[in-house]
Chains A and B, each alone.
Chain A
């Protein structure tokens, strides 16, 4: 059981180190964000007046809201639904403007209503026809957006159209955000987070395993509707900043980036909020440098940079990490293979420290041989002399241990049941003593010796009987 305890503590430790990693990462982002302020002041010549502070605050808040809820869109594989729904919000904005003028709250309610009709339409089409989800989303995206454009063009013919600024909803414009908007974002975001906190357990369950949730008596449809509503709210809030076309990027990018750093939903959501705040804030500030550049694209570019860094460098999961691990695996296996090759070659020819000619080793194993021998030499397990390789005493010991471990594993596989040993997964890379309790290992060793003795005595008898028949 010592082996088990050891493993458990190792796991626990790695878990805690991943917790620490998250906090380090958050601290690093906070640092970059703090450094960004003087950078933007002196290099980009941004002036931190009241307007910009409002805009930056609004951008960060929106980043938080969409980052948190975007996690669920990503995990439910509804990333592109986010795209369809943000396009579907446009006619709602236009109709609300036609009916009530430019009041942000009402515009957003209008946007939410038509987005919702979009969700309903997608469900209806996929439920009653053989049209698949993706095509149904495409239909909503295109048709609702066309309706929005038709209405916007109609509105633009009005005398008060120019001040309406409705086209900011298409690409997003940070400058359009005023203090009242920030309050609205904060209020809606707070409500969304309270709901999310209350139903955290339920949302997690229906996202992971809706069938099991249903079997446990949770109202899966209702919960799923509620969660979709929250996502629609995040989309609708973000429209003014990111615009309908690029909202999907703002919604999902920070969640995807966060997913790379952690394996726990809670941490993923927190990290995604931090990423979102960073992308939203930085994007909004940079876009204030030049009024011609809409905000949405900048936020998306910043968010994508975060994604790229995360995909590349996230510990354990990132591409760079994977490449490194593959290389070290290759080295490890090469070393192990060559250790065994040298050992058996030498034993077959008499004694364990007999040198094996290098051309022979390379001829059999190719590149693996060169790599493996280099590794063995570095570890002091083998040395080269006169174009041949021989094991050092340390190497012989390691090879014998490894060999015996392999043999014990195969004895375990063959006789584990008969000896009533505990059932564990077979893994020859692990020392069997780390996996099985000492008593079990002792049984295996005894069995191995019995088999060996039997084999040896029958090998002794074999030539004799052969000799007899020969005569």
Chain B
């Protein structure tokens, strides 16, 4: 997985993910609009915004899963195709059929398919690293469980393990905290912090304003356009939130107090 050394046009700091002028439209209506975003290496970043703000669209467009109307996306200064191995992806849990006949371990080893490339099959070593990833999310006991017999949180952790096994440098996660139990939420956040400690970059679509300041150190506020992006202390301000969520900001005060933002 060698990264070809390419020069990034904006070299103020090393950007793990760099998005320029990205616009995505569904039926000629903009879902995200002229996004400029730089995610520095090693941060744990939340993408926050109201429903329909284009949070998932942003991630999918970055991974070229949906066509872009305009703009460029670079990971470590390279187009996505050349650095696929450096990028891990956790889709929304609802995007697959959990009744599929396969085990948790097998789902995790799917994370290795991209590295294996065409036709080659996963071997014993691959199974071991999949098992190790399951262990990391506390799921080793469920390795041979059929995936429909897992709880929602366990399914989410399986997805997370599948991304871990990719051993990427940057992870994009689409709502990993959506509808999970407390155990899973804690397990996920532990993993996220471990990833950051190992110098990985993590971008998480998140919808819970209460927990955002506690979990993340970087934030992008998105509502079709970028409202603000930067370190959470400086960016997660009532002003910016009001700009993101419009008039519905009233109930946020509670969350900010809990998060200790009013001290600042």
Contacts and interface: CB of A to CB of B under 8 A. Distances in A.
Interface of A: 4, 7-8, 11-12, 14-15, 75, 77, 198-202, 204-205, 207-209, 211-218, 259, 262-265, 267-268, 423-426
Contact of B65 (A15, A207, A215, A267): A215
B113 interface: yes
Contacts of B177: none
A11 B141 contact: yes
B186 interface: yes
Contact of A425 (B91, B145, B151): B151
Contacts of B106: 264
Residue from the set A14, A202, A217, A262 with the largest chain B CB neighbour count within 10 Å:
A217
B113 A205 contact: yes
Interface stretch (B94-102, B212-220, B223-231): B94-102
B136 to A, nearest CB: 13
B247 interface: no
Interface stretch (B3-11, B41-49, B117-125, B193-201): B117-125
B122 A423 contact: no
Contacts of B153: 425
A438 B107 CA distance: 32
B95 A211 contact: yes
Given A14-B144, A201-B119, A211-B60, 5 more contacts: A75-B97, A201-B122, A205-B113, A262-B101, A423-B187
B254 to A, nearest CB: 22
Contacts of B97: 75, 77, 208
Contact of A75 (B84, B100, B113, B183): B100
Nearest to B115: A216
B143 A424 contact: no
Contacts of A218: 113-114
B119 A198 contact: yes
Contacts of B146: 263
Nearest to A18: B144
Nearest to B121: A201
Contact of A216 (B113, B119, B142): B113
A264 B102 contact: yes
B225 to A, nearest CB: 25
Interface in B72-107: 81, 84, 87, 89, 91, 95-97, 100-103, 106-107
Interface residues of B, number: 42
A178 B148 CA distance: 45
A390 B9 CA distance: 82
B141 A4 contact: yes
Nearest to A215: B89
19 contacts: A7-B141, A11-B145, A15-B144, A199-B118, A201-B122, A202-B118, A202-B119, A205-B113, A208-B100, A208-B102, A209-B96, A212-B162, A217-B114, A259-B101, A263-B101, A265-B100, A265-B101, A423-B138, A426-B183
A212 B121 contact: no
A216 B102 contact: no
Contact of A263 (B84, B102, B187): B102
Given A8-B140, A211-B95, A425 B183 contact: yes
A273 to B, nearest CB: 15
A8 B187 contact: no
B14 interface: no
B263 to A, nearest CB: 24
Contacts of A215: 63, 65, 87, 89, 91
A212 B106 CA distance: 14
A11 B91 contact: no
Given A199-B119, A209-B91, A211-B65, A12 B144 contact: yes
A200 B89 CA distance: 22
Given A75-B101, A215-B63, A264-B103, A209 B140 contact: no
Given A8-B140, A201-B121, A214 B183 contact: no
B37 interface: no
Contacts of A15: 144
Given A8-B140, A212-B89, A207 B122 contact: no
Contacts of A424: 138, 183
Contacts of A212: 89, 91, 96, 110, 162
A11 B143 contact: yes
A199 B120 CA distance: 9
Contact of B186 (A11, A216, A265, A423): A423
B128 interface: no
B151 to A, nearest CB: 7
A4 B141 CA distance: 7
A12 B144 CA distance: 7
B100 A207 contact: yes
Contact of B183 (A265, A267, A423): A423
A205 B260 CA distance: 44
Contacts of A425: 151, 153, 181, 183
A432 to B, nearest CB: 15
Contacts of A267: 101
Nearest to A77: B97
B146 to A, nearest CB: 4
A264 B110 contact: no
Nearest to B166: A216
A209 B114 CA distance: 13
Interface in B25-84: 60, 63-65, 81, 84
B253 to A, nearest CB: 26
**Interface pairs A-B: 6 shortest CB-CB:** A216-B114, A263-B146, A215-B89, A15-B144, A209-B96, A7-B141
A198 B119 CA distance: 5
B258 interface: no
A424 B114 CA distance: 32
A204 B60 CA distance: 22
Nearest to A16: B144
Nearest to B84: A217
Nearest to B148: A263
Nearest to A10: B141
B116 interface: yes
Contacts of A208: 96-97, 100, 102, 107, 110
B166 to A, nearest CB: 8
Contacts of B96: 208-209, 211-212
